Amino acid sequence: MKNKCINSKCLLMRIMKALFFLSSFLLMTNLCHGQNSIHSYTETNNLEKGFNSPPKEAKARTWWHWVSGNVSKSGITKDLEAMKEVGIQEAQLFNVHLGFPKGSVIYLSDEWLELFHFAAKEAERLGLELTFHNSAGWSSSGGPWVTPENAMQTTVFSEMIVAGGNTVKIQLPQPKTKLNYYRDIAVLAFPKPKEDIKIEGLDFKNLTGRIRNHLLPDTKQIPNSGIINKNEIIDLTLKMNKDGVLEWKAPKGEWVVLRLGHTPTGKNNHPAPDGGHGLEVDKMSTKALDVYWQGGIQPILNKLGDLVGTTVNNCLIDSYEVGTANWTPGFDKKFEKLRGYHLFSYLPILAGYYVESGEVSERFLWDFRRTIGDLMAKNYYAHFGELCHKNNMKFSVEPYWGPFDNMQVGATGDIVMCEFWSGGYPFFDSPKFVSSIAHLNGSAIVGAESFTGIGGWDEHPAMLKSIGDRAWGQGITRFIFHTYVHQPWDVAPGLGLSYHGTDFNRLNTWWKQGKAYMDYIARSQFLLQQGQNVADVLVFTGESSPNDALLLPEIKAMGFDYDLIGANKLSSLTVKNGTIYSSVGNKYRVLVLPESSWMKPETLYKIKELTKAGARVIGTRPKKSPSLENYPNSDVIVQKLSDELWSSGLVKDISINQFLKESKVPTDFKIEEGNAADISFIHRKTKNTDIYFIANAKKESREISVRFRVFGKQPELWSSEKGKIKNIAVWKENIDGTTTIPISLGMEESVFVVFRKPSINKNHLVKTSVELENIKAEKLSGLEIVKAEYGTFLQEGLVDITDKVAAEVKDNELHIQASRHFCDCDPAMGYVKEFRMEYKIGKEVKIISVKEKEFIDIKGGDKELKVLKAVFGKFKPETKGVPKNYLTFNITQKIKDLVSNKTFEIPVTNTLINGKTAEGNKVGLRITYKTDGEERTEIIPQGEVLNLTKDILKSELILAKDKMFWKTAYPGKITYTNARGKTKTLRVKSVPKPIELTGDWEVSFPSKTGNLKTTTFNDLVSWSTSSDEEICHYSGTATYKKEFELSRKILKSGNSLTLDLGSVAVIAEVYVNGKNAGILWKAPFRTNIDDLVKSGKNILEVKVTNLWPNRLIGDEELLLDYERKGTKMKSLPDWLLNNTKRPSNRTTFPSWKHWDKNDELLTSGLLGPVKINISISKKI
């Protein structure tokens, strides 16, 4: 009994103890849950707060060009105040000269420094930031204080053939010298090879001329008769006196005496104004850079004083555009330190000779290029960053186009930048690797020189938006506009950057209305700067230098994303539970190796470490090292490690497409229903929130169904354009841990889908089907078919020039320069272009590829030389070889006939060519048409539909206080299924018809005298059609006024009114009854007016702004009151400089002539039809 009691007591005590621990666990769990909830609540609140009122980090910035020394204090103040007014946070100062008449301000003079100081004080007053480019011009780092000895250096050589067997005393010719500066590297002698075989492409292999990326050793066999034995190379450097006379007892035989030295490249910074133009500094010497800093940057810092590090907090190096350099004093010692062997015996290779073997020579050149890249990254870019940091500034850098490894250089910057152009197809060749660098640096800021293009004052926010949205989808998180040109005077449209850039300044017609676009940018960039980028794939760009990274668009097309990693960061990777981690916490599922059979042993050791820790790695099996380091033992190690890794299956030789298809991991973003073409996405993730950005690049609405790799959270729709947040009403959770959401995207609309709160309410809908009635398809306003073709087309940015190149073949020889003159166009504005040609000599077919401006010399000898295909432009990564230019069908009249017969939605099938079959595997319709004067070109793939109809107001589901409503402007029905599986149908039998505001409009134009000119428009037509010269050539803002009546019935509860302006050219600011209804800067031009209208009489006021060209065209008919030379301004007129009355009736003053008097006027004004759409809401 006692034992039984004791056991019972023990049991009771155990139960109580267990309950104690359980309660403690539950308490701790609740506390932890509470902490997480508090954290999540704080994050949620901060996200909304930042979205509603974006911080300065999220706001757009702009380059600020001071042109040719024309600067004024009043202009500085007005520029900066204008930036502040519309929401520009920072100006990045450049000083350039592009042929504009020179002003009095000399770069770095006391006057210039005082103006910079004044600008900084004004920026401080306004709460703005300033950055300055480190040099005059935009590339790269140079000035008159850079002496030849501190300038960029290149190797040069001279050679003589000497007969041995006696003492030789000869004058060795000094190699080609620039700027009277030359220094010897070495004088060498070696037996003359029996065959004169030189290294092909030497200028890009030793970096004395061209740049080629991802170069690997050429394994071409070279006969011994053309090779130098390094043991036979004799150092004669000390046997040459200071006058260049060599005295040497030469052994018997024929000897090559090689005098090798270095001289400046002669490259200057550009395009620099007076006072700032000079030699580019040596990019491999910290000593030279220190001298450059003292001469060109320290005077600025001294003048600015304590404004540095506060208001002026950043210094920039723009894209590298100053050619190659391949030597610096002490290069030989730096090479030996980095590569582990001395380069002396291999110096003849720099003159084109083969030493030891073809492969050994190629490996030396690989090491040589790699060393140049390493030294530029460390001694120029990284050292420049260190100097910035010592002065409390950040370092911004555009790390591309140079003889270096882009990934390595970009890693030195605090803010790494890329660029993209407007006005043509956006190729985005730099944003991907630049955003990857920022991700691996742990930075949320990915800067971009944005919307670089060709000027003409013909661009506006709606034209820029779609390109900008795509750029965000590439990983960019900060727009830096190219460009705001400083306006020293107030005569519009003012100064441009020659013919370059988007004209983004206070004198543009839409500047103030552009604030709505700046707000859109700030809200979007705030969200894009949150958390980390989500990418499943990490792509290794390889070990070679120069290295411009890689692009693998097929990964994004599969619904995943990827980052790129260079050799500089590979060693920092770690693995945990099969996931690859960067040093800053980025997570990846797989590492992709480059398609190469070359790899250094240390890289393979790292791959072995990663795979042994559980990382998944795929790629081509390497066979050799590309370097001479530890050669030939390095090849033995490579072979051994390759056998171990690939034979065991630790690394698989499969494509990334195959890996992702075989992977059980769901796609991050997958369009399950609807057309996926021209849809961009990117995914950011914080601790508790997933943020997806989605953009529609098409000028038509899209209905898509998207599967997101998120589960258990309520999806929300955040509209940066409208500044609104709403819960999504229809979504479905899937068993694979994803969520499917139907999304309606308007024309060129973007949205953020945000998952931040647990999906507690399970009363949402999972499926809907909408059928609307009484919808009559209307064709696009002012539709004009220009051209329509059917077939397979070259990709965007390419032109076929086969016939023109073939015409250059003479006597079986072809000698041409790859340039734009073959197409009389610029197929890919702003991008480095390429020429590819397939040709035949006799029966042998060959392919050649060269960069723009390079030369092609082909000799067929006694065999026929025939050009088969020749293509010029910017090639996409997926465009391999020389693409064929297929025969296409002109179906312009066919499309016109269909439109005439009121067919506005046209299926793209072979019926368009009467059942014939088009060649190629990517058949489609390419059409150019105009709508209200705006010209558009689209390619619609076969099987899709050409849509030439106006956009309609879509129905939508609205969640409000746990209640759901269907809002529609048309009768019809919605069938819906909720999360419990119940299906119901809601019908709307009638909806009030839209109210069209027809009849007269009162329109007011500011006149030349400054007074208002008020007229009546009986119909809404373009100003350009007016018989009144002042109106047809008017550029600026005109005000439309109209009264309209609304009944109480229309305003009853449950009805919602949307004002639809129809077509607008180009921006409208709307007021209803004196209250601001918003700035409408892109189509569709609609806004809700529920809170602004009243029963009875209402007043609508629409302020419409057009573009500058119409006034510029009109002024070309008037007396020219300043001097021009071609399209440029020759001199500044006295009336401008002295602020006196103009001697002509001109009102504009453009720095570049973009427009002629005979040019077609642009469509302008409110074109309508203006309607008030009435929607009704019914509870679900």
Residue 977 binned pLDDT confidence (cut-offs 50, 70, 90): very high
What is the rounded (10 degree) CA torsion for 805, 811, 817, 822? -20
- The pLDDT of residue 45 is 87
**What is the rounded CA–CA span in Å between residue 482 and residue 504?**
7
**What is the rounded CA–CA span in Å between residue 277 and residue 268?**
7
Residue 444 has pLDDT above 90, yes or no: yes
Average pLDDT over residues 30-57: 70
Residue 23 has pLDDT above 50, yes or no: no
* Beta strands, E only, 198-293: 227-228, 234-235, 245-249, 254-264, 279-280
Tell me the two tokens of residue 1007. Answer: 């006149």
* Sheet (strand 834-841) strand order: 798-800, 865-873, 834-841, 844-851
Residue 824 binned pLDDT confidence (cut-offs 50, 70, 90): confident
Residue 35 has pLDDT above 70, yes or no: no
**What is the rounded CA–CA span in Å between residue 171 and residue 191?**
19
User: Are 61 and 450 in contact, with CB atoms under 8 Å apart?
Assistant: no
**What is the rounded CA–CA span in Å between residue 361 and residue 653?**
29
Tell me the two tokens of residue 581. Answer: 């981690």
79 φ/ψ angles, rounded to the nearest 5 degrees:
-60, -50
* Sheet (strand 702-708) strand order: 669-673, 702-708, 739-745, 732-733
pLDDT digits (tens, 9 = 90+) for 130-146: 999 999 999 999 999 99
**What is the rounded CA–CA span in Å between residue 679 and residue 922?**
19
The segment with the largest mean pLDDT, out of 5-14, 111-120, 451-460, is 111-120
User: Is it true that domain 669-765 has CATH number 3.90.1640.30?
Assistant: no
Domain range 534-662, CATH architecture? 3-Layer(aba) Sandwich (3.40)
User: Are 291 and 372 in contact, with CB atoms under 8 Å apart?
Assistant: no
Residue 19 has pLDDT above 80, yes or no: no
Q: Inter-axis angle of helices 73-86 and 515-528, to 10 degrees?
A: 60
Entry pTM: 0.95
Count of C-beta atoms within a 10 Å radius of residue 937? 12
Residue 36 has pLDDT above 60, yes or no: no
Tell me the two tokens of residue 77. Answer: 């103040």
Average pLDDT over residues 271-279: 98
Which strand (E) or helix (H) includes residue 361? helix 358-376
What mean pLDDT, rounded, does the chain reach?
Answer: 94
pLDDT digits (tens, 9 = 90+) for 300-351: 999 999 999 999 999 999 999 999 999 999 999 999 999 999 999 999 999 9
- The pLDDT of residue 830 is 85
Among candidate residues 785, 741, 737, 797, the one with its CA nearest the CA of residue 766: 741
Is the omega angle on the peptide bond into residue 1084 within 30 degrees of 0, that is, cis? yes
Cα 501-507-512 angle, rounded to 5 deg: 100
Average pLDDT over residues 777-786: 95
Residue 998 has pLDDT above 60, yes or no: yes
Residue 774 has pLDDT above 90, yes or no: no
- The pLDDT of residue 1011 is 83
Residue 41 binned pLDDT confidence (cut-offs 50, 70, 90): low
Residue 12 binned pLDDT confidence (cut-offs 50, 70, 90): very low
| DSSP letter, residue 508 | S
Percentage of the chain beyond pLDDT 90 is 92
Residue 13 has pLDDT above 70, yes or no: no
| Residue boundaries of the structural domains of the chain | 56-145+279-323+374-532, 148-268+325-353, 534-662, 669-765, 794-873, 889-947, 995-1116+1155-1179
Residue type, 354: Y
pLDDT digits (tens, 9 = 90+) for 458-505: 999 999 999 999 999 999 999 999 999 999 999 999 999 999 889 999
pLDDT digits (tens, 9 = 90+) for 178-222: 999 999 999 999 999 999 999 999 999 999 999 999 999 999 999
CATH of domain 56-145+279-323+374-532: 3.20.20.80
Same fold yes or no, 534-662 and 669-765: no
pLDDT digits (tens, 9 = 90+) for 914-938: 999 999 999 999 999 999 999 999 9
**What is the rounded CA–CA span in Å between residue 6 and residue 832?**
89
Among candidate residues 496, 418, 486, the one with its CA nearest the CA of residue 450: 418
Residue 423 binned pLDDT confidence (cut-offs 50, 70, 90): confident
Radius of gyration of the chain (CA): 34
Residue 2 has pLDDT above 90, yes or no: no
User: Are 557 and 667 in contact, with CB atoms under 8 Å apart?
Assistant: no
562 φ/ψ angles, rounded to the nearest 5 degrees:
-145, 155
pLDDT digits (tens, 9 = 90+) for 209-268: 999 999 999 999 999 999 999 999 999 999 999 999 999 999 999 999 999 999 999 999
**Helix/strand/coil for 1086:** strand
Residue 1010 binned pLDDT confidence (cut-offs 50, 70, 90): confident
Residue 269 has pLDDT above 70, yes or no: yes
> Selecting from 2.40.110.20, 2.60.120.260, 3.30.70.3270, 1.10.287.110, what CATH number does the domain 995-1116+1155-1179 have?
2.60.120.260
**What is the rounded CA–CA span in Å between residue 875 and residue 935?**
25
Count of C-beta atoms within a 10 Å radius of residue 230? 16
Cα 1153-1154-1159 angle, rounded to 5 deg: 115
3-state secondary structure 921-990: CCEEEEEEEEECCEEEEEEEECCCEEECECCCCCCEEEEECCEEEEEECCCEEEEEEECCCCEEEEEECC
Per-state percent for the chain, helix, strand, coil, to nearest 5:
25, 35, 40
**What is the rounded CA–CA span in Å between residue 175 and residue 178?**
10
- Find the range with the poorest average confidence among 775-779, 782-786, 813-817, 1147-1151: 775-779
- The pLDDT of residue 829 is 87
pLDDT digits (tens, 9 = 90+) for 62-110: 999 999 999 999 999 999 999 999 999 999 999 999 999 999 999 999 9
613 φ/ψ angles, rounded to the nearest 5 degrees:
-85, 0
Alpha helix ranges (H) inside 53-168: 73-86, 110-126
- The pLDDT of residue 43 is 78
